[in-house]
A and B are shown apart, each in its own frame.
Chain A
Amino acid sequence: MFRCRRLLLVILALCASPLFAQDLENLQIHGFATQGFLFTSNNNYLTMKSSSGSLQWTEGALNMTDPLSDHLRVGMQLHMYQMGELGGPNVLIDWALGDYKISDQLGFRAGKVKVPLGLFNDSQDVDSLFVWILPPQGCYQVDNRDFNLALLGGEVYGELDLGRKGSVGYRGYLGENRLDENGGYMLQLYSYGFTFPTPPSGRIFGGDLRWNTPWKPLTVGSSLQYQSLDGEGTEGNVHLPPAFLQTYYAQWSKGRLELSAEYWRAQMTPMLLTEGLTMQITYDQRSWYPMVTYQLTKKLHLGTYYSHYVNQAADTSDPQNYAKDWAVSGRYNFNSNIYGKIEGHFLHGTGLGYYAQQNPDGLKPDTRMLAARIGFAF
């Protein structure tokens, strides 16, 4: 971990010196800020007191990028989020990298780089890109997203022209990531009585292949990932042997209509180790969703999706082992920078997004939710 941090510092230092040496004419600064609201009929969701209506969801980011030469670009994005008990006022480095592009077919990024996983993993924390407020939670769990959003390490990427067969974009990565100190996984570990001087971390590697088919609006692809995790806690240790995650996706967009679908499968066996006791939990998580968005007018977008999650390794009739969600979304762009969204959710099952601390009286299997969000991006 320290080696990775040192590597990141060296990269930033190397990149920063020419940055100051040149004029800042090409320096770009972009950012966004959002405020969300959740109201649920039953159960408190995502650590918010949502059954009473909660505004405790604020996010913001600011980034700077500068092309230092034809081939080299550097940049960094700072990010903060507060979602109920998750996140906090601390500003985190979302990504910070040097990007050396030899050609369109081959480039390298090093530092803290975003992880390509499925259609939206690397962009899921950028609200202004999407019609919906919450992405399909079966695949993109907002309370745990910071764990898998970025890694400290490197990435190789490129786009290969296949002529009449379209093109293939590829990304392969290797590095290390760690649990978000204020994220959902850590909150769960705290609830088991575990505390860690430093959050558990581990090796991660994987890749993404994306075929832009000759049937122009259609893109299909797949991402694979291996992830291990270890943490030494005061009360015990956590150990995740290499876990395998696979995703398959397709996206079709033409004119005002966009269709997307994904299938995810994650197999893992995390272990909690205390003196004289080993607790092992087996997961075989399967998630999928179909999604439709449609631009009704120049400023109004509508969308709907059905998200399905089930832990196939457990009793699939028990609501705590599945989460099904039908969502209907609307987004209105007031101008090119300011937008508002509203979204209805029909949630069934309690497998994702619920925490015992915020639901001390237990959980009901069904929840209706109304979400709203306003945002500003430049």
Chain B
Amino acid sequence: MKVTIHTSLMALAILLLPGVMRAQDVLIVVSRTSSISEISEAQLREIFTGTRSHFNNGTRAFPVLLKGGPVHEVFLRRHIGDTPDEYRVRWRRAVFTGQGSMPKEFASEAAMLDFIAATPGAIGYVSRIPDPDAIKIVIISGR
């Protein structure tokens, strides 16, 4: 019986583990129609902190955000180097001094993906892509 319980727990853990790992994976995505397929880590950071407004090919970049959650936190920590609080303060500084507007925020990955699919230049981050026909993953270079 003990063996059965242990085996079941291990199986459950193995089943859950990929879910946890998926939640911590962050994919940088743009519309399938976008000509962007690769971006450097520095450029990604500049776009999401508002110091760069265009991709290398001259296309206007529209960064979009999730309102919160683990994917949002992992993206900020890994690619921007900020906590959610630090990132909010960074943008509030721009917003309240008249120097910038906050990136658009979405409550869910599905809503963000719908927007990205329909908006040339939009760039965001998700944990998975349900519809590869509308969205493509951007490769991060220079890591």
Asked if B88 contacts A336 (CB within 8 A), the reply is: yes
Asked if B54 contacts A104 (CB within 8 A), the reply is: yes
Known contacts A77-B96, A129-B96; A28 and B101 CB within 8 A of each other: yes
- In the complex, what distance in Å separates the CA atom of A28 from the CA atom of B91? 13
Q: Given the complex, which residues of B lie within 8 Å of A250, measured CB to CB? A: none
Contact of A75 (CB < 8 Å), options: B68, B85, B93, B98: B98
Contact of B92 (CB < 8 Å), options: A99, A122, A295, A377: A377
Considering the complex of A and B, which 4 residue pairs feature the smallest CB-CB distances, nearest first?
A126-B96, A95-B98, A122-B97, A65-B101
Contact of A61 (CB < 8 Å), options: B60, B68, B96: B96
Contact of B93 (CB < 8 Å), options: A61, A63, A67, A126: A126
Q: Which of B38-95 contact A (CB under 8 A)?
A: 51-54, 60, 68, 83-85, 88-89, 92-93, 95
Asked if B96 contacts A32 (CB within 8 A), the reply is: yes
Q: Which of B89-121 contact A (CB under 8 A)?
A: 89, 92-93, 95-99, 101-102, 104
Q: How many A-B residue pairs have CB under 8 A?
A: 71
Q: Given the complex, which residues of A lie within 8 Å of B99, measured CB to CB? A: 99, 114, 122
Smallest Cβ distance from B127 to chain A, in angstroms? 21
Known contacts A104-B52, A114-B97; A126 and B102 CB within 8 A of each other: no
Known contacts A103-B54, A126-B92, A333-B85; A28 and B102 CB within 8 A of each other: yes
Q: Given the complex, which residues of A lie within 8 Å of B85, measured CB to CB? A: 295, 298, 333, 336
Query: Other CB < 8 Å A-B pairs besides A30-B92, A65-B101, 18 of them?
Result: A28-B95, A28-B102, A30-B96, A30-B102, A61-B96, A65-B95, A66-B101, A95-B97, A95-B98, A97-B98, A101-B53, A103-B54, A104-B54, A126-B96, A129-B93, A159-B51, A167-B51, A333-B85
- In the complex, what distance in Å separates the CA atom of A101 from the CA atom of B93? 18
Query: Of B54, B84, B93, B101, which is in contact with the most chain A CB atoms at under 10 Å from its CB?
Result: B101
Contact with B along A84-127 (1 / 0, CB 8 A): 00000000000101010101100001000110000000110010
Q: Given the complex, which residues of B lie within 8 Å of A70, measured CB to CB? A: 60
Interface size range on B against A: 20 to 34
Query: Of A113, A123, A167, which is in contact with the most chain B CB atoms at under 10 Å from its CB?
Result: A123
Q: Given the complex, which residues of A lie within 8 Å of B51, measured CB to CB? A: 104, 159, 167, 169
A-B contact pairs, 10 of them (CB 8 A): A28-B95, A30-B92, A63-B95, A63-B98, A65-B95, A73-B101, A99-B98, A114-B98, A123-B97, A126-B92
Give the residue name and chain of the B residue nearest to A114 (CB): B97
Asked if B54 contacts A30 (CB within 8 A), the reply is: no
Asked if A295 contacts B98 (CB within 8 A), the reply is: no
A223 at the interface (CB under 8 A from B): no
Asked if B101 contacts A298 (CB within 8 A), the reply is: no
Give the residue name and chain of the A residue nearest to B54 (CB): A104
Asked if A128 contacts B92 (CB within 8 A), the reply is: yes
- In the complex, what distance in Å separates the CA atom of A312 from the CA atom of B107? 56
Give the residue name and chain of the A residue nearest to B60 (CB): A70
Q: Given the complex, which residues of B lie within 8 Å of A99, measured CB to CB? A: 98-99
Give the residue name and chain of the B residue nearest to A333 (CB): B85
Asked if A129 contacts B95 (CB within 8 A), the reply is: no
- In the complex, what distance in Å separates the CA atom of A334 from the CA atom of B68? 16
Contact with B along A3-39 (1 / 0, CB 8 A): 0000000000000000000000010101010000000
Give the residue name and chain of the A residue nearest to B58 (CB): A103
- In the complex, what distance in Å separates the CA atom of A113 from the CA atom of B60? 25
Asked if A123 contacts B96 (CB within 8 A), the reply is: yes
Asked if B60 contacts A63 (CB within 8 A), the reply is: no
- In the complex, what distance in Å separates the CA atom of A126 from the CA atom of B89? 10
Smallest Cβ distance from B49 to chain A, in angstroms? 11
Smallest Cβ distance from A152 to chain B, in angstroms? 13
Q: Given the complex, which residues of B lie within 8 Å of A109, measured CB to CB? A: 98
Contact of A123 (CB < 8 Å), options: B60, B93, B101: B93
Contact of B96 (CB < 8 Å), options: A63, A73, A113: A63
Q: Given the complex, which residues of A lie within 8 Å of B96, measured CB to CB? A: 30, 32, 61, 63, 77, 123, 126, 128-129
Give the residue name and chain of the B residue nearest to A27 (CB): B101
- In the complex, what distance in Å separates the CA atom of A75 from the CA atom of B83? 28
Query: Of B52, B54, B98, B101, which is in contact with the most chain A CB atoms at under 10 Å from its CB?
Result: B98
- In the complex, what distance in Å separates the CA atom of A332 from the CA atom of B53? 33
Asked if A67 contacts B101 (CB within 8 A), the reply is: yes
Asked if B84 contacts A336 (CB within 8 A), the reply is: yes
Q: Given the complex, which residues of B lie within 8 Å of A73, measured CB to CB? A: 101
- In the complex, what distance in Å separates the CA atom of A11 from the CA atom of B130? 46
